[in-house]
Amino acid sequence: MADLMPNPGTVAPLQTDAVIRVEKVCKAFYTPSRENLDALIDIELSIHGGEFITVVGPSGCGKSTLLRLIAGFSPCSSGRIMFQGEEVRGLNTKVGYVPQESKLFPWLTVEENVGFGLDSKQYSRADRERQVSQFVHLAGLAGFEKYYPAQLSGGMSKRASIVRALVYEPPVILMDEPFGPLDAQTRMVLQDELLKIWEKKRQTIIFVTHDLVEAVALADQVVVMTHRPGKIRDVLQVPMSRPRNIFEIHRQGGFDEAYGRLWNIFRHELSIGAH
């Protein structure tokens, strides 16, 4: 289950070795009443370079917690996470992170936000400007460089937040329900843009969502998690060709079949969660 096979019918992964290997990871939190609350139990997962992974599960299943562990925001209770062969201890500066809310730095302009991760030691001023300008354009934010986040719409903040994580080109991007609070149309536009960017850059993306259509439409593989305490229920291949047309994803070959399989798995989780 956890051992993933190369996807038939899609672009071959750039690397064959796993970029991320989650090994027997458990995470427990202390509740205010001092009891242990198991968020994740025995998570085993390996993720290969250049893949687009989506993670779905009922709310509260620990999807976000898993991302936070990979980012190194908090330590695993047991088990370990290997990133490019090294164990993650402390902040994992090789990943980009797109939080649920945009979380742009409100005191910085759009271009300052986008350029925030470009270290002044690694990038010359000119390089930095070029990179920022390229990604601002990529995000469709040209003309809004000098705007502050408070002056942007939800969709624009979201784009800025995404390119802020992409701009310094980390090998892995973690996205925590980035399109959750957006309206359906904006969501589709952004999904489409995200796929276009990804097809150009081919970073590894781990994308948490609760939307099954989104999960299938974007992914090479869908990781399905169980109701709390979160375990991995299944890993589903999505053998749809790329590039994909998000706006007519239902008509694309393989979608219905993949969605049907996902729904079959997921249905059980919902009924467990409903009691």
124 lies in the site for another protein, by CB under 8 A? no
- In whole angstroms, the minimum distance from the beta carbon of 186 to another protein comes to 5
Rounded to whole angstroms, the Cα distance separating 86 from 3 reads 19
- In whole angstroms, the minimum distance from the beta carbon of 214 to another protein comes to 16
Q: Which of 2, 24, 105, 268 binds another protein (CB under 8 A)?
A: 105
Q: Which of 52, 83, 144, 255 binds another protein (CB under 8 A)?
A: 144
97 lies in the site for another protein, by CB under 8 A? yes
Maximum Cα–Cα distance across the chain: 58
Residue 131 near residue 115 (C-beta atoms within 8 A): yes
What's 127-191 look like in SS3?
Answer: HHHHHHHHHHHHCCCCCCCCCCHHHCCHHHHHHHHHHHHHCCCCCEEEEECCCCCCCHHHHHHHH
180 lies in the site for another protein, by CB under 8 A? no
Rounded to whole angstroms, the Cα distance separating 56 from 215 reads 7
- Please, which residues bridge with residue 45 across strands? 22
- Please, which residues bridge with residue 55 across strands? 208, 223
Q: Is the peptide bond before 229 cis (omega within 30 degrees of 0)?
A: yes
257 lies in the site for another protein, by CB under 8 A? no
- Altogether, the residues listed in the chain come to a count of 275
- Pattern 56-75, another protein, x by CB under 8 A: ---------------xxx--
Q: Which of 103, 128, 210, 261 binds another protein (CB under 8 A)?
A: 103
Size of the site for another protein (CB under 8 A): 35
Tokens representing residue 197 in the block: 């960017």
Rounded to whole angstroms, the Cα distance separating 94 from 174 reads 11
- In whole angstroms, the minimum distance from the beta carbon of 154 to another protein comes to 9
Q: Which of 57, 58, 62, 155 binds another protein (CB under 8 A)?
A: 155
Q: Which of 59, 124, 153, 245 binds another protein (CB under 8 A)?
A: 153
77 lies in the site for another protein, by CB under 8 A? no
- Pattern 37-56, another protein, x by CB under 8 A: --------------------
Residue ranges that bind another protein, judged by CB under 8 A: 71-73, 91-93, 95-97, 99, 103, 105-109, 116-117, 119, 144, 147-153, 155-156, 168, 183, 185-186, 188-189
